[in-house]
Structure 1
């Protein structure tokens, strides 16, 4: 049914459009149709719902509550549910803890540790398997595999009762890994769709009305197309979209028709994904309120949330099926499987090649001072974003005692604010004449207000007031607006600023390093906060860590000189070209797959 709805809007391939010559045997150069673009959009609609409603809202709450229903108070050894009022992680009888591997862990820390592990495994998966998508039919196969596997993991939560809460942690790891990996594979479709777009095949490139209107608002479209921070732990991929491989790297104002078209498609996909996430989040809140009035909530406080995760999983699977029906396979070059070991050996060769390529890019990056400074800063920024997202949800539930529907409303507030922020920051930057790194610093300064405000409650006279410093539930909603607006600016401006520093012709390799830096750091902050919560029994103590994480990258961003970095990148590109880097990479790949 869903596929028929999408198919109703499809249009046939325009008549008279010539297919471009294939670059390798078996390449599908069929002109991109509207049907195929809808298929690309449909997967964003599918997976963004899990990113916002699952990872960003109900998964942390469900995991913490599952552990709580099996936990005991550290001092009295009574059941947390029976003896503790509300959902606080600590009362007069001590912390609510659960035994794991011989250790007693705070239930909130258990959720933080789980997401920390999930992001780490996701980073390793992204690096290891991203190269596979470029060969044969692996692009579509991997997208479908990750999509359906992740949706099944979400649906299986309906069967995770408190006695098997550890299985819930495993499903979180599977879901988060599949989510991030599928977005990376989805992004790999975009350059292929753009390369075969009919508007570019005849050399016209829509230089008339369509692209002229886009070019006039280039920075706004870039903010939309590059924004991927509003999904809880930001697992929605961090690859560059649409940079023409091997082409001249230009500033946004003079970007190529391919890059303009790519960003336009990407921006619409992001917008549709967020709209779908808000829609399902509203349905989820209604479902939670309805189920809380039934006997299900009395059986287990997690059951209403587990039914929401079932709904999210069904949505993910349904629109993944639509994407499967509408997207063409667009096969990549064939793998050489003539030697012993066949396809499995070729695949393992690609995995080794991916890690070696990343290491080669790291060795080049350390020679570029501005790139290195910014990557270290981005490492800290992305970790801070991930830590704030995970900590805020658990703090709202365990310290402020927000009901599950209100937590869902909190997520909607942050998401809508992020959508507004993506459009707001380009105007703010132009109005005040800010450079990109100055805009990033301004975002970080506003971001610092969130943990500082939460730490005000440690001041005795403010604590006595019972308000200010996140002591009342309503106080977290204005901070959610700040988080969303700042997050929208940070994701788009950090990526575009990094793009200015990349050696032209090496965009794919450096954005892969950018993605690895993003995902590779996002497990550190949540793990540290988990340790601190274990030591203190209070999620609020995590604000100390967050405040430090946000401050650390500010001087690094300030030190980055964009003009100097651009000149270094141009010089490095010439050096790499003279040394025949491309031929060396191709030779390495042949050796790995032979």
Structure 2
């Protein structure tokens, strides 16, 4: 069973490839493909011989391009494995990082902390029996604060840190470790036979780390921070690894391998253009650019046609995976609210929910483990035949060299740099607003865990609505992509500005508005989700227009790293502001500035100019790749115009 999961031994030998010219009369025509590849039989790496035979039926361009390549057609079972992992892991983001981990870390530190006003009174001393979870009655701002809701500090390494800052610092450290790990292991994700092995190792490690929160008591609050770092790092690694399967699933899909097949249109039901609402690449691709061993398709097709079809399939599979993942997260978030209500909204309630999140993540990883094939990537010639330690060192060095090379290329694209600068700040603001809002609602508005979880449910539902409606709104209002993104940013800016209204005496005297009452968090949560649903999709779309055609993988790797790595700074700065001022509300000033800066950067983006620059760079990179490829290979053809939308 262990080998079934990890397949860490040598790759299976590939079957002998039969040329199309030697096909016998009883073999299927290359223009069709057997329906048996979509049967309900086991479709993992130990599938039946009928699966293996599929690689013998195609034309010459189905030949393996490197030793160990799995050229079998993508099956329903394999796609189900891809979707299954989204169902398994998305709950960690929505239920864990999005709500219950910040709450748990803050409460663990609070119960070991003292009041900031005297540094003597234990915050735990005034902890009374929990109120009903949806009792939102909060004291006025002039009332004396209770030990439970007053600002608390905890001593860490000789320094007093606000308990809310403790959660923010933990998140910053986890993102830093996550970014370093993602970059360092990306070579192993794209090359060799370790893709599936690493996916399962990190998935099970993250699930177990999340389950272990059940055993964390207040005196072990630092262990809780360590578990949060491990779990978030493992999730980031698995997100990159599962995304690296997507290009392979698309590349080996029957409608790509046999584009002229009359039956290809019915494989996964309607694959018409009407099912696709954009032809931009998504960030669910391999993290770093493949080596020269895998950049040349054996036969040449129309670049625009092939790219359009592959992007359509990639976006479709990715969208299904996201939808399935969010469905699972909403289901578990609803279950979490029930658990919190039934167990009294205590610290144990939070730890129990995280245990359930870890169980969900671990349990539903098993279907992905059985259904996904290893799909080994092209080996790196520089480390072929070396020892294990030197092999991993080779992957490490290759990963960082690839990133540096992509950054060097990106520096020559002015509009791409403007966009990446804006996206760096935006993604940092998006991640920081989530943690700040949860901790503000808990420590300042006294909202109970079930109420906080409900905010997350509302935001997620609004995100789904935003994702499907922003395209129509943009068309109705005649907005360009850059203008749509700016509109989203302006709406996003309303969230910190609304929080700053609480500083105005006239508003403060009302007792509501400016985030003085818990109910105000719900419409803001809906606004956040609605804006995020459009912002993320349009940013990916615009980025896809600004990158060199034919080099999407490498540049979307930079997009993903910018997205994940930027969140190191925002939470740390919010934590420092909270420590310095004794409250979270002043951090809204920083968030307002952080969200506003991308607006002028986005205004400087000229899409048409960026497309021309990207096309010129594509020609340059194409010439460079031709100069380093072996003589028996040739660089892929490059269209004289960007891929059709």
- TM-score normalised per structure 2: 0.81
Aligned partners of 2:622 and 2:399: how far apart in 1?
A: 20
Match of 1:64 in 2: 106
**Aligned residue among 196, 218, 241 for 2:276:** 218
Alignment map for 1:322-401 (pairs within 5 Å): 322-335=367-380, 342-401=387-446
Classify the secondary structure of the residue corresponding to 1:105. Answer: strand
2:341 corresponds in structure 1 to 289
Cα deviation, residue 488, structure 1: 1.1
Residues 166-221 of structure 1, C-alpha deviations (whole Å, 9 max, x = no match): 01001111111111110110010011111111232222377757787642242279
Provide the rounded CA distance (Å) in 2 between the counterparts of 1:47 and 1:585.
41
Corresponding residue number in structure 2 for 1:308: 353
Question: Which residue in the other structure is 1:152 paired with?
Answer: 208
Maintained 8 Å contact 1:190/1:241: no
Q: Alpha-carbon deviations, 1:492-544, whole Å to 9, x = none?
A: 11111111111122211111111121122111111111011111121111111
Q: State how far apart, in whole Å, the 2-side matches of 1:585 and 1:537 are.
A: 63
Q: Does 1:526 align with 2:582?
A: no
Q: Which residue of 2 aligns with 1:78?
A: 121
Partner Cα distance (1:92, 1:250) in 2: 70
Q: 1:214 to 1:578 in 2, by over 3 A?
A: same
Deviation at 1:30, TM superposition (A): 1.3
Q: Which residue of structure 2 aligns with residue 137 of structure 1?
A: 193
Sort the Cα spacing of 1:158 and 1:249 in 2 relative to 1 into closer, same or farther, 3 A. farther
1:406 corresponds to which residue? 451
Distance 2:472 2:431 in 1: 26
Equivalent in the alignment of 2:26: none
2:316 is the counterpart of 1:260? no
SS at structure 2 position matched to 1:496: helix
Aligned 1:154-303 pairs, distance under 5 A: 154-204=210-260, 208=265, 214-219=272-277, 256-292=308-344, 301-303=346-348
The higher radius of gyration belongs to 2
Shift of the 252–384 alpha-carbon distance from structure 1 to 2, 3 Å rule, reads farther
Q: Which residue in the other structure is 1:21 paired with? A: 63
Alignment of 1:430-469 (within 5 A): 430-469=475-514
Are the counterparts in 2 of residues 337 and 343 from structure 1 also a CA contact under 8 Å? no
Q: Secondary structure at the match of 1:104?
A: strand
Q: Which moved more, 1:371-380 or 1:338-347?
A: 338-347
1:347 is paired with a residue of what secondary structure?
A: helix
**Which one of 621, 624, 629 corresponds to residue 579 of structure 1?**
624
Which structure: greater helix fraction?
A: 1
Deviation per CA, 1:198-246: give whole Å up to 9, x if none: 2322223777577876422422797xx95x9xxxxxxx9996999x967
Ranges in structure 2 where 5+ consecutive residues have no aligned partner: 5-37, 44-49, 131-137, 632-645
Q: Which residue of 2 aligns with 1:547?
A: 592
- Distance in 2 (CA, whole Å) between partners of 1:486 and 1:114 is 26
**How far apart, in 1, do the equivalents of 2:441 and 2:66 lie?**
54
1:37 and 2:79 matched: yes
Whether the aligned pair in 2 keeps the contact of 1:245 and 1:506 (CA below 8 Å) is: no
**Correspondence for 2:32:** none
2:19 aligns with none
Aligned partner of residue 174 in structure 1, secondary structure: helix
1:326–1:571: structure 2 CA closer, same or farther, 3 Å change rule? same
Q: CA deviation at 1:10?
A: 6.4
Question: What SS is found at the alignment partner of 1:540?
Answer: coil
Cα-to-partner distance string for 1:244-280 (whole Å, 9 max, x where unaligned): 9679999999952121111111111110000000001
SS at match of 1:31: coil
Please say if residues 418 and 488 of structure 1, whose CA atoms lie closer than 8 Å, have aligned partners that are also in contact.
Answer: yes
Higher mean C-alpha deviation, range 123-132 or range 571-580? 571-580
Given the superposition, is the C-alpha separation of residues 582 and 264 from structure 1 closer, same or farther in structure 2, using an over 3 Å criterion?
A: farther
Describe the SS at the equivalent of 1:523.
helix
Aligned residue-pair number: 563
Q: Secondary structure at the match of 2:357?
A: helix
Aligned equivalents of 2:468 and 2:371: distance in 1?
30
How far off its partner does 1:385 sit?
0.4
Gaps of 5+ in 1: 229-235, 587-594
The Cα shift of 1:131 comes to: 1.2
List per-residue Cα deviations over 1:94-142 (Å, max 9, x = no partner). 7310011110000000000000111111111111111111233211001
Contact 1:194 1:261 in 2 (8 A): yes
What does the per-residue CA deviation read over 1:61-80, in whole Å, with 9 as the maximum and x for residues that have no partner?
Answer: 00000000000113331111
Q: Distance in 2 between matches of 1:249 and 1:31?
A: 19
In the alignment, the residues of structure 1 paired with residue 561 and residue 99 of structure 2 have an alpha-carbon distance, to the nearest angstrom, of 24
d(CA) in 2 for partners of 1:10, 1:190: 22
Q: CA deviation at 1:333?
A: 2.7
Compared CA separation, residues 254 and 537, structure 1 to 2 (3 A): farther
Structure 1 457/339 Cα, relative in aligned 2: closer, same or farther at 3 Å?
closer
- Supply the RMSD in Å over aligned alpha carbons: 3.2
SS at match of 1:505: coil
State the distance in 2 between where 1:221 and 1:290 align: 47
1:51 counterpart = 2:93:
yes
The equivalent of 1:476 in structure 2 is 521
What is the alpha-carbon distance in structure 2 between the residues aligned to residue 356 and residue 313 of structure 1?
A: 35
Q: Which residue of 2 aligns with 1:589?
A: none
Contact 1:220 1:422 in 2 (8 A): no
Contact 1:66 1:161 in 2 (8 A): yes
| SS of residue paired to 1:178 | helix
